[in-house]
């Protein structure tokens, strides 16, 4: 197997393993990963519209709507009418969400400590530099053009 394929595979595997562990621990707090992502996005962009939060967490408007409905029902998020556009609601965290965010941050920090146990700090700095370079390469690469599947059949 090529070295770059091994890197991509390992990055993907690390992500899956961390998501699985985080999900299991977050469930003990009564929250799903999707809910956590939405709460975190709202904490970073308080007052954002539901559509903006959907874009940030990469889900459809309908999925975000259902997710935010559950967050509102749980008392973690509130919708406020937009003064300039009555069709739009702005999203804000409630005081109930703040301790939850703190606990999730602690959980994430704990998981990172577990993941990095035994890793030399100098080696970690090198690895982070490599990953930053990979990210920059991908972000600066030319955009792919989607291929029309019907046109390919001809």
Contact 77, 97 (CB under 8 A): yes
With CA atoms as reference, report the closest residue to 111 among 13, 20, 9, 30: 20
- pLDDT per residue as tens digits for the range 33-48: 889 899 999 999 999 9
Angstrom distance (rounded) from CA 132 to CA 110: 23
Q: Band of the pLDDT at 151, cuts 50, 70, 90? A: low
* Proportion of the chain above pLDDT 70, given as a percent: 91
Q: What was the pLDDT predicted at 82?
A: 86
Task: Encode burial over 90-109: b for 16+ CB neighbours within 10 A, e otherwise.
Answer: bbebeeebeebbeebeebbe
Using CA atoms, how far residue 54 sits from 20, 30, 35, 62, 143, in Å, is: 22, 22, 12, 9, 22
Whether pTM > 0.85 for this model: the answer is no
With tokens 């070295």, the residue in question is 3
- Mean pLDDT over 5-33 rounds to 89
Residue 150 has pLDDT above 70, yes or no: no
* CATH numbers and ranges of domains, the chain: 3-109 (1.10.10.10)
Q: Band of the pLDDT at 2, cuts 50, 70, 90? A: low
Residue 76 CA neighbour count, 13 Å, CB half: 23
What are the backbone angles phi and psi of residue 123, rounded to the nearest 5°?
Answer: -65, -35
Per-position DSSP letters for 50-103, written without gaps between them:
HHHHHHHHT--HHHHHHHHHHHHHTTSEEEEE-SS-TT-EEEEE-TTHHHHHHH
């Amino acid at each position: 197997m090529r070295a770059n394929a091994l890197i991509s595979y390992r990055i993907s595997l690390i992500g899956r393993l961390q998501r699985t562990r985080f999900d299991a621990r977050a469930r003990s707090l009564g929250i799903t990963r999707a809910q956590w992502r939405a709460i975190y996005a709202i904490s970073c962009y308080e007052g954002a519209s539901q559509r903006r939060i959907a874009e940030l967490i990469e889900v459809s408007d309908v999925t975000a709507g259902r997710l935010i409905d559950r967050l509102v029902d749980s008392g973690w998020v509130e919708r406020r009418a937009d003064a300039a556009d009555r069709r739009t609601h702005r999203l804000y965290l409630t005081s109930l969400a703040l301790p939850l965010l703190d606990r999730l941050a602690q959980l994430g920090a704990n998981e990172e400590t577990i993941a990095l146990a035994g890793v030399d700090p100098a080696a970690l700095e090198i690895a982070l530099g490599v990953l930053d370079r990979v990210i920059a390469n991908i972000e600066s690469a030319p955009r792919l053009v989607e291929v029309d599947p019907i046109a390919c059949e001809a």
